[in-house]
Amino acid sequence: MKQYLEINPIVKEALENNKPVVALESTIISHGMPYPKNVEVALEVERLARENGVVPATIGIINGKLKVGLTEDEINLLGREGLKVPKVSRRDLAYVVSNKLNGATTVATTMLISALAGVKIFATGGIGGVHRNAEVTMDISADLEELGQTNVAVICAGAKSILDLKLTLEYLETKGVPVLGYKTKELPAFYTRKSGFNLDYKIETPNEFANILKTKWDLGLNGGVVIANPIPEEFAMDYDVITNAINEAIVEAEEKGIKGKDTTPFLLDKVKTITAGKSLEANIQLVFNNVKLAAEIAKELVRL
Ligand code: PSU
Ligand code: MN
C-alpha cells in the first residue's frame, strides 16, 4: 500500500526523528463546515498544532495519492469544492485511488492512512457512530469498525446526539475500543459537555493517556482509542437549544429521505441553520481544544 502513500517532507522528517505528529481529517473541511470558514479553520488548526510543538498532518486524497500533510493549496481545493469532493470512507478508498480522484477522508480513512504512515495521534471534532433508528436502517459509521482494528488514538469531543450515543458506546465496547474521558467520567456530546452516559475511566493528564496507549499497543491489543475531550464550558451550547435543533433536523432528514453518507453533512448543516450559526462556532472551538490536547499527548508519547 506504501506506493500510494505520499508523506509531506516536513512530516516525514518528524516521523523519522521521533518528533510528535498529529493527524487531522479532511471531511470536516469539505463536508463538515461551509466555505471559506472551513479553510480558515483548517489552516488555524495547523497553526495551533505548530504553536503547541507538534507537526500537523492534514490527511486527504489528491489525484489518487494518500496524502499525509496536505499543502495549503490542497486544503484550499478541498474546502472550495466542498460537497463536490467525494467523502471517502473505507469502502470508497479503492475506487477513488484507482481512478486518481481527489477525496476527503473521514475518521475511518484518516485513521487508516495515519497508521500506514506511522502517525498515532489524530485530532478531530466528533466521530461517526450508531445512528438513531439504526436497529431499522443499520446505519452504523465505518469509523467504529476502524476504531476496532487500527492503532490510532482519536481525540474528539465525543459524538453528536444526532447519533444514538448509548448504542455507539455499546458498539465500541463490543469492538474492544477504550473510551477515555479527559477530566470527566461522562461522555461529552460534542456541543455539550454532558450526555447522561457514563464512561468507565476518567483520565487526568496527557501523560496518563500516552501511557495507556503505549501499554495497549505493547500488549498487542490492536485497535484505536477514543479520547473524549469535552467542549470548554464557555463555548458549550445550551442543552435544550441544541437538542431541539437536532430533533428538528432529524425530522427534516426523514421527510426528505436523506440517507447513508449524506446524513451527517445534512444534519450538521441543518443544525447550523436552526441555531443561526451558533453550532458552527461551537464546532470550531471544540476542534481547537482537541488539537491542543492531542499535541500534549503526542509530545508525551514520543518520550515513552
Ligand atoms: N462529525 C462532525 N463533522 C464531520 C463528521 C462527523 O461533526 O465532518 C464526519 C467525519 O469525517 C466522520 C464522518 O468520520 O462524518 C462520519 O460519517 P458517516 O456517519 O457517514 O460514517
Ligand atoms: Mn452511515
pLDDT tens sequence across 116-137 = 999 999 999 999 999 999 999 9
State in Å: Cα 138 to ligand 2 middle: 8
295: nearest Cα among 20, 101, 81, 13: 20
Cα 140 to middle of ligand 2, angstroms = 5
Q: Is 31 in the pocket of ligand 1 (CB under 6 A)?
A: yes
Task: Determine whether the shortest distance from the Cβ of 267 to ligand 1 is under 6 A.
Answer: no
In tens, the pLDDT along 182-218 reads: 999 999 999 999 999 999 999 999 999 999 999 999 9
CA-nearest residue, atom 18 of ligand 1: 141
Confidence of residue 161 (pLDDT cuts 50, 70, 90): confident
Instruction: Say yes or no: CB of residue 92 within 6 Å of ligand 1.
Output: no
pLDDT by residue (tens digit) across 26-63? 999 999 999 999 999 999 999 999 999 999 999 999 99
Q: Is the pLDDT of residue 2 over 80?
A: no
> Mind listing the pLDDT tens digit for each residue in 216-233?
999 999 999 999 999 999
Q: Whose CA is nearest to atom 1 of ligand 1?
A: 126
Instruction: Calculate what percentage of the chain has a pLDDT beyond 90.
Output: 94
> What is the pLDDT, as a whole number, of residue 223?
98
Quickly state the pLDDT bin for 261 (edges 50, 70, 90): confident
pLDDT, residue 56, reads 98
Q: Which of 152, 80, 77 is nearest to 121 (CA)?
A: 152
Q: Is 212:231 a contact under the CB 8 Å cutoff?
A: no
pLDDT at 286 over 80: yes
Residue 286 burial class via C-beta count within 10 angstroms: exposed 0-12, middle 13-18, buried 19 and up: buried
Pocket test for ligand 1, best of 29, 131, 264 (most atoms within 8 A of CB): 264
Long-range contacts of 232-239 (CB under 8 A, 24+ apart): 232/285, 232/286, 232/289, 233/193, 235/281, 235/282, 235/285, 235/286, 235/289, 236/191, 236/192, 236/193, 236/282, 237/191, 237/192, 237/275, 237/278, 237/279, 237/282, 239/192, 239/194
Give the count of alpha carbons within 13 A of 96, CB side only: 20
- Read off the pTM: 0.97
- Examine the residue annotation and report whether 170 is marked as an active-site residue of this protein: no
